Structure 1
Amino acid sequence: MTVDESQARYVEGITRLIPADERVRAVAKVRAGEGLTPAPPTQPSAPPAAGGPSVLSVLLNVLSPNITFGRADNAVDWLVFGVGGRGAPDSQASVLHRALTAATTGSGIRYLVLGVTDQRLLLGATAPVGLLSSSTADERAQADIELLGSVPRTTVTARFGRYRLNWKRLRIDFADGSWLSFHVPLADSGRPLREIAAALSAG
């Protein structure tokens, strides 16, 4: 595994989450893939609204994301970003997507981190930091990672490439047929994502 200075703290954070006999193979700071996402895990909810989004509501969502029209939001996500993940309720993608959404919604900024060891794929989130936090606090938060979920490495496959507006996208497929995608900003190197894909493909 190739580790530069910016990744070292994330490697440290992932290492703290695993037993001493488990070895880290790759680590990447990522963003969750935009677009349509897996169905949420099973839970009581209000019945869905009848009918689909109108052309007007879709147009207004594109022009002003602050105007929401329920199911039109999904249509806009699909038109602009395509599909960011698929999976039935309670599938592996569904459960992990709910966990990462909950972790990154709320006060403070948290970053998602993927880690591959010789045994597992791990998804974590850094400790929250404020917009005006010091560099020391940021560094401490990067190494303080909360584990959101993990799966055996042998039950997932991955591929790296371009998809619509995501030029550096990692797609992770789970054994139950569901999948999630992750990406990095255009200005960032795609090498960490390629290393995650390679580590998951290695024997």
Structure 2
Amino acid sequence: MADISYRERLAQLVEPGEQVLAVAKTEIAQGVLPSDPPQQEQAVATGTGGVSGVLLNLLSPLVSFPAGDRIVDRLTHGVAGRGAPGSAASTLQHARRPVPPATTLTDTILAVTDQRLLVCASGPVKLWSSQADDARALADTRVVWSTPRATVADARVGWHRLNPKRLRIEFVDGSWLAFTVPIAEPGTPLREIASALSGR
């Protein structure tokens, strides 16, 4: 998969007069995430599974119990976000969660403009892509979630376990969500997002 530059495409997606300040290709960090928005929570199976559910989660990733998933995520990856159902972090992470069964890969792109924080999804991307594949992924990029800059309380990049490049975005409703890039990729785009949001 080639490195696709999304800045030009995002300039086409924003409102007239809105200026793109920073762009980063990223992914929501692994770990325990905020609660689902209220309407999605009701659609999730309510079986807890108890201790046996946690053990089954560890033994087979195909067996899934919500309580077991959260415990395994907490132990292996920590906490990647917090927020009540319907909070900013809750709706953001739900907007980027693939709908099962996920049969394609897409990039998550964060963008900060002079007015909003945008979360975008690319078109389908391939591990081994041609220029035509990359052009399609870029052309199909769309905004899946946005919020005014005033709803962001803070943003900063720091260490989490062994990863020195984890962006944490905090919202004024008290919720927060973390984003990462692969260890081998530079953290500069995440630091630019944090700087554009926090003014530091």
* TM value normalised by structure 1: 0.85
Select 2:198's aligned residue among 188, 196, 201: 201
Q: Secondary structure at the match of 2:144?
A: strand
Q: Distance in 1 between matches of 2:115 and 2:101?
A: 29
1:98 pairs with 2:59 = no
> Letter of the aligned partner of 1:186 in structure 2?
I
Q: Secondary structure at the match of 1:29?
A: strand
Q: Secondary structure at the match of 2:136?
A: helix
Question: How far is the alpha carbon of 1:106 from its aligned partner?
Answer: 2.7
Identity across matched positions, percent: 47
Aligned to 1:168: 165
Structure 2 portions without partners, runs of 5+: none
1:115–1:121 contact (8 Å) kept in structure 2: yes
2:107–2:125 contact (8 Å) kept in structure 1: no
* TM value normalised by structure 2: 0.86
Question: How far is the alpha carbon of 1:91 from its aligned partner?
Answer: 0.8
Question: How far is the alpha carbon of 1:142 from its aligned partner?
Answer: 2.7
Aligned to 1:76: 72
Aligned to 2:6: 10
2:30–2:73 contact (8 Å) kept in structure 1: yes
1:184 pairs with 2:196 = no
Aligned to 2:83: 87
1:128 pairs with 2:124 = yes
C-alpha spacing 1:61/1:29, structure 2 compared with 1 (3 Å)? same
1:107–1:128 contact (8 Å) kept in structure 2: no
State the Cα RMSD in Å: 2.5
1:103–1:125 contact (8 Å) kept in structure 2: no
Q: Secondary structure at the match of 1:26?
A: strand
- Segment drifting more, 33-42 vs 133-142: 133-142
> Letter of the aligned partner of 1:140 in structure 2?
R
Select 1:150's aligned residue among 140, 146, 149: 146
Question: How far is the alpha carbon of 1:139 from its aligned partner?
Answer: 3.3
Q: Distance in 2 between matches of 1:6 and 1:177?
A: 34
1:53–1:75 contact (8 Å) kept in structure 2: no
- Correspondence 1:112-127 to 2 at 5 A: 112-127=108-123
